[in-house]
Amino acid sequence: MKRGIKRFVKIRNLNDQHKKQYKKSEIFYAYGFLSPAMILAFLFIVFPILIAFSYGFTDYYLLKPDEKQFIGLRNFVRMASDDVLIKSFFNTVQFVILVVPLQLSMALILALIINQKVRGVGFFRTAYFAPAVLSLVVISILWTVMLNPNNGLINQLLSDFGIPKQPFLSSADQAMYSIVAISAWSGCGY
């Protein structure tokens, strides 16, 4: 037991000695180099968050900024009772629950395939890394064209098999799953 206490004291003394190695001038220079980044982070991240939060307690109208009044928690109460906001919150939760496991499993499967010496590994490399080099705009346009209900590639393939054309992005029942598939594909290469 005493041996353990002695080791703890030795480690503690080493930590104290390590802390004392820095000179005050080095600490001053370190804070000098950190301060521009900290100031910019405060100006562009912390300050706007605080301002936006304070606007939540007022009836601020952007076109008439001088006429804002403090209204307390009324905005938050109205927000909590808004059906559209509640629906969008549950849609976001559903999206996350669907995308995260799908994206992780796709990334793992593609990574395992890429590391194997199998025929067609070039296709899987392209499928794996294409989203990493394509911008979100290009990915959005690509999938919008492919899922077009009239003449999209996916609907053409479905009609070749005798399946009627599907409104993937315009149907309330199919849009979530289409967007989940697109998001999982676009994020699996990262």
pLDDT digit string, tens, across residues 98-120: 999 999 998 898 888 888 887 88
Give the tokens for residue 179: 């967007």
Helix axes 83-114, 172-187, angle to 10 degrees: 40
User: Pick from 80, 105, 130: which residue ends a domain?
Assistant: 80
As a whole number, mean pLDDT of residues 153-182 equals: 93
Q: What DSSP character marks residue 58?
A: B
Q: Which domain holds residue 71?
A: 2-80
Q: Mean pLDDT over all residues of the chain? A: 87
The share of the chain scoring above pLDDT 90, in percent, equals: 57
- Report the domain count for the chain: 2
The least confident of 52-61, 129-138, 162-171 is: 129-138
Residue 20 scores a pLDDT above 80: no
Q: Please list, in sequence order, all residues whose beta carbon lies within 8 angstroms of the beta carbon of residue 131, skipping any fewer than 6 positions away.
A: 139, 185, 186, 187, 188, 189, 190
My answer on whether 60 and 87 are in the same domain is no
Q: Is 143 exposed, middle or buried (CB count within 10 Å of its CB: 0-12, 13-18, 19+)?
A: buried
The pLDDT of residue 40 is 97
My answer on whether 90 and 42 are in the same domain is no
My answer on whether 35 and 62 are in the same domain is yes
Judged by DSSP in three states, 1 sits in: coil
Give the tokens for residue 158: 């479905």
Reported residue count of the chain is 190
Rounded CA separation 184/186 (Å): 6
My answer on whether 22 and 7 are in the same domain is yes
The phi, psi pair for 65, rounded to 5°, reads: -70, -20
My answer on whether 62 and 93 are in the same domain is no
Amino acid found at 94? Q
Nearest alpha carbon to residue 140 among 176, 183, 171:
183
